[in-house]
């Protein structure tokens, strides 16, 4: 059991993380987030049905229980009443009709489960990669992002895998959740029905920053989505062609696309990984006692084999980062631009 003194601050921190995301998750009810996919209505209906059956039967059973306690207590009946061992009609009454209710619950649950398992053939497919502690999304045209972007009213399928441990991609407003497992591909699908921004959570405990493994799902109008995904695929190439400063491209990669920011700050704060501020040219001692200077060779090795040369005081948790050459160059310029000794 997790002690309450640990659990409460964790829960509060999680609440803050949600506020930080500034997600417009409005429009939900007291119990539920907004209904933003085609799954939401039937599932909430199912939940309400089970909830109300439980409440009605719970109240009934407790009423009978207390009624019997009042009526047949030992003070009034010092000698046990003998004779009636059972009543067939009563027993059928409390077994058969509730049996139908239970079967109906199974049936709607089973149908809902089959729905969830079977994506339509024309679904728009987005590849998802989970790692400690960030999500990244890859679109069919080569675009990549750290937030999920999808078109409204169109089936979207996520094919998901993990770089390290088990995560679970959960979009409460869509009522869908599926484990993301290393070494295999899992999938889930949904049809977003409401334009807006919704929170994505990791729903499988995956280590220290599990509760920070948050991002957003942005639901666009189809035309806006097309424009977004086109820009997202080409921006870095266009940027370089236009001769714009690479360091700024690196900053955009850091804030919008890559997973760096979940562990490496740029304001000097120590987090899961060493801060990027003043990182370039810094002399670091490694966990095995060797020392290195943070330069291009070290950076390139660190994204390929993150657990090889870990700075002392940190644990090796990072998964290899598949950056292309343009991204590597842009990140290097960005790191230099926020470092004193370049
Ligand atoms: Cu990833 Cu919890």
For the CA of 204, the nearest atom of ligand 1? 2
| Distance between Cα 14 and ligand 1 center (Å) | 13
Tens digits of residue pLDDT in 5-29: 655 655 555 555 555 555 555 567 7
Query: In sequence order, which residues have a C-beta less than 8 Å from that of residue 160 and are 6 or more positions away?
Result: 127, 128, 129, 130, 169, 178, 180, 185, 186, 187, 188
Residue 2 pLDDT > 60 = no
Quick check: 302 and 282 in contact, CB under 8 A?
no
Q: How many helices (H) and strands (E) does the chain have?
A: 7, 12
User: What's the pLDDT score for residue 1?
Assistant: 46
User: What's the pLDDT score for residue 23?
Assistant: 58
How high does pLDDT run on average in the chain? 86
For the CA of 165, the nearest atom of ligand 1? 1
Report the C-alpha dihedral over residues 175, 181, 185, 189, rounded to 10 degrees: 0
CA–CA separation, 296 and 192 (whole Å): 43
Residue 104 pLDDT > 90 = yes
| Distance between Cα 130 and ligand 1 center (Å) | 8
| Distance between Cα 332 and ligand 1 center (Å) | 28
Residue 341 pLDDT > 90 = no
Residue 227 pLDDT > 70 = yes
201 beta partners: 170
CA 293 to chain centre: 36
| Distance between Cα 268 and ligand 1 center (Å) | 25
Q: Which residues line ligand 1 (CB under 6 A)?
A: 130, 133, 167, 202, 204-206, 210, 213
Percent of the chain topping pLDDT 90: 39
Quick check: 250 and 276 in contact, CB under 8 A?
no
User: What's the pLDDT score for residue 193?
Assistant: 94
Residue of minimum CA distance from atom 1 in ligand 1: 167
Average the pLDDT over 273-283 and give the result.
88
Average the pLDDT over 267-276 and give the result.
85
Tens digits of residue pLDDT in 36-71: 999 998 999 999 999 999 999 999 999 999 999 998
| Distance between Cα 290 and ligand 1 center (Å) | 32
| Distance between Cα 131 and ligand 1 center (Å) | 8
Q: Which residue has the higher pLDDT, 3 or 110?
A: 110
Tens digits of residue pLDDT in 168-205: 999 999 999 999 999 999 999 999 999 999 999 999 99
For the CA of 166, the nearest atom of ligand 1? 1
For the CA of 132, the nearest atom of ligand 1? 1
User: What's the pLDDT score for residue 201?
Assistant: 93
Average the pLDDT over 96-125 and give the result.
91
């Amino acid at each position: 059991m997790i002690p309450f003194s640990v659990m409460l601050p964790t829960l509060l921190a999680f609440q803050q993380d949600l506020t930080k995301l500034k997600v417009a998750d409005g429009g939900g009810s007291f119990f539920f987030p907004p209904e933003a996919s085609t799954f939401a209505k039937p599932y909430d209906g199912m939940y309400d049905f089970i909830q109300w059956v439980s409440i009605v039967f719970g109240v009934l059973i407790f009423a009978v229980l207390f009624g019997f306690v009042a009526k047949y207590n030992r003070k009034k009946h010092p000698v046990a009443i003998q004779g009636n061992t059972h009543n067939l009609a009563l027993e059928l009454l409390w077994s058969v009709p509730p049996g139908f209710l239970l079967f109906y619950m199974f049936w709607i649950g089973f149908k809902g489960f089959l729905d969830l398992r079977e994506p339509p053939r024309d679904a728009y497919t987005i590849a998802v990669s989970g790692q400690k502690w960030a999500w990244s999304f890859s679109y069919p045209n080569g675009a990549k992002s750290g937030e999920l972007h999808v078109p409204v009213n169109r089936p979207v399928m996520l094919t998901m895998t993990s770089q390290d441990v088990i995560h679970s991609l959960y979009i409460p407003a869509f009522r869908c959740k599926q484990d993301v497992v290393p070494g295999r591909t899992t999938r889930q699908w949904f049809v977003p029905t409401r334009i807006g921004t919704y929170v994505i959570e990791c729903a499988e405990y995956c280590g220290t920053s599990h509760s920070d493994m948050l991002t957003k799902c942005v639901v666009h109008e189809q035309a806006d989505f097309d424009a977004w995904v086109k820009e997202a695929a080409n921006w870095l190439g266009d940027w370089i062609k236009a001769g714009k400063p690479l360091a700024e491209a690196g900053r955009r990669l850091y804030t919008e696309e890559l997973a760096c920011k979940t562990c490496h700050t740029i304001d000097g704060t120590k987090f899961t990984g060493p801060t990027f501020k003043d990182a370039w040219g810094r002399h670091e001692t490694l966990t095995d006692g060797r020392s290195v200077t943070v330069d291009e060779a070290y950076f390139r090795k660190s994204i390929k084999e993150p657990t090889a040369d870990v700075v002392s005081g940190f644990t090796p948790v990072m998964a290899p980062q598949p950056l292309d050459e343009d991204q590597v160059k842009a990140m290097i310029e960005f790191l230099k631009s926020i470092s004193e000794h370049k």
